[in-house]
Structure 1
Amino acid sequence: MEILMSIMIGIVFTVSIYLFLSRSLLRVTLATLLMSHGVHLLLLTLSGLQRGASPFLNFQADAYSDPLPQALVLTAIVISFGVTSLLLVMAYRTFKVHNTDDLEELRGSADE
């Protein structure tokens, strides 16, 4: 199962890097969102995927799932939501001011 998840994480990272290399500001924002989801999946996969293991309930349990990676991913989801919303607002404001979302045109207008 970890191999399949690793392949899927590689695909998500590949798509996000491809979107980072585009000229559209909205695609760069979506690439940030995809990259953060890839990191979340990576953290959960590296912590070990276990089926049927309950959370830590008592000290006599044979196997239990570690809640720390899940807590870290939950915190990272909240942070990435805030970063994505900030980037969307900044992209919208940039589009309203310059009437384009092309990064090459934005760079050309900054040089003038």
Structure 2
Amino acid sequence: METLFSVLIGIFFASAIYLMLSKHTVRILLGFAILGNAVNLLLFTAGRLTREVPPIIPLAADVLPEGAANPLPQALILTAIVISFSFFAFLLVLTYRGYQELGTDNTDEMRLAEPKDEPLPPLGY
């Protein structure tokens, strides 16, 4: 099962990097979202995937019993989900605002575009 998840994580990372290298900001945003999911899945897989041992650990145990799932990666995933959602929402608003101002979502055209109804700054300081 961990091998299947490892292959899936590799596919997620590859597709995220491919999308982030695009010139269109919507594809870049989707790449960031897929990258966040790939990292979450990587943390989940690092915490061991077992069905045999329940995740309940007795109070007398000082260390994790053999084969028990580690709860730390699961806590990290919950935190990462919140952070990646807020980061994605910020990037989405930033992209939408850039599209409103410049009229394009192509990053090459954004470099050449000028904001509407705004004079250019003076050349000297």
Shift of 1:62: 6.6
For 2:93, the aligned partner's letter is V
Percent sequence identity over matched residues?
41
| Gap runs ≥5 in structure 2 | 115-119, 121-125
Shift of 1:63: 5.1
Judged with a 3 Å threshold, the aligned counterparts in structure 2 of structure 1 residues 101 and 11 are, in CA distance, closer, same or farther, namely: same
Q: Which residue of 2 aligns with 1:98?
A: 102
Greater relative contact order (Cα 8 A, min sep 6): structure 1 or 2? 1
| Larger proportion of helix | 1
Equivalent position SS for 1:17: helix
Q: Which residue of 2 aligns with 1:35?
A: 35
TM-score of the two chains, using structure 1 as the length reference: 0.90
Q: Which residue of 2 aligns with 1:21?
A: 21
Runs of 4 or more above 4 Å deviation: 60-63
Shift of 1:12: 0.6
TM-score of the two chains, using structure 2 as the length reference: 0.81
Aligned length in residues:
111
For 2:19, the aligned partner's letter is L
Equivalents in 2 of 1:100, 1:38: separation in Å? 29
Equivalents in 1 of 2:26, 2:86: separation in Å? 16
Equivalent position SS for 2:98: helix
Shift of 1:55: 2.2
| C-alpha distance after superposition, 1:35-75 (max 9, x if no partner) | 01000001111221111432234136675322111000000
Structure exhibiting the larger radius of gyration computed from Cα positions = 2
Query: What is the RMSD computed on CA atoms of the aligned residues?
Result: 1.8
Equivalents in 2 of 1:68, 1:29: separation in Å? 28
